[in-house]
A = this chain, B = another copy of it.
Amino acid sequence: MESRIERLCIERGLKMTGQRRVVARVLSEAGDHPDVEELYRRASALDQHISIATVYRTVRLFEEQGILERRDFGGGRARYEPTEDGPHYHLIDVDTGRVIEFQDAEHERLMHAIAARLGFEVVSLRLELFGRRLPRSNEDRDARPARGGAARSGNTAEGASR
C-alpha cells in the first residue's frame, strides 16, 4: 500500500526504489522528529537491504523536493519531519526531550513587525522554546489547547540538547 510520502515522490517523478519506498513509509508513519540513525533503525526493521548512506541520500533528496524539513534542535544531529501545511514551532521539554509543536498567530504578526521596523522582510525564521513542565494548578486540570493557538505533541527518540 502506498504511503502518503510515496505518493508525493511519484507526483514529482522520482524513481521509486525499494529503499525509497521504505524510507517514505517510515516517514509517513512517524509522528515525531527522528534523526537519520533512528530512521535507519526503523527502515532496517522493514527491510534489511538499506544502508545508512542511502538514508542520508534519500533524506536529502526529499528535503530538496520539499517533502521533508530538516530541523536542528542542537546536539549535532539533524532531525526530520514531513512538511506540514503552515508554519509551526517547537517546544522541547528539557527534562524528557519530548517535542511539542505549536503555532501562534500573534507570533507571526510580531515577527513581521519586528523585521519591518528593522527594514527587513521575513524570509524564514527559527523559533525553539526549551521549557520545563509546570506543576499544573488545581483549576487547570484538563489538557486542552488554550485560546490563541493550537498544539500537537509528539515524542522524540532521545533526550534534550547539550
Please report A residues at the B interface, Cβ cutoff 8 Å: 72, 74, 91, 93-94, 100, 102, 104, 106-107, 110-111, 113-134, 136, 140, 143, 145-149, 151
Contacts and interface: CB of A to CB of B under 8 A. Distances in A.
> Copy number of this protein in the oligomer?
2
A121 B134 contact: yes
Given A94-B123, A126-B130, 11 more contacts: A91-B115, A91-B118, A91-B120, A100-B120, A104-B110, A120-B129, A121-B132, A123-B132, A125-B127, A125-B128, A126-B127
Contacts of A102: 114, 118
* Most chain B Cβ neighbours within 10 Å, of A113, A117, A134, A151: A117
22 contacts: A74-B126, A91-B114, A100-B118, A102-B118, A107-B114, A110-B110, A114-B149, A115-B131, A117-B145, A117-B146, A117-B147, A117-B148, A118-B151, A119-B136, A120-B129, A120-B132, A120-B133, A120-B134, A122-B129, A122-B131, A124-B130, A125-B130
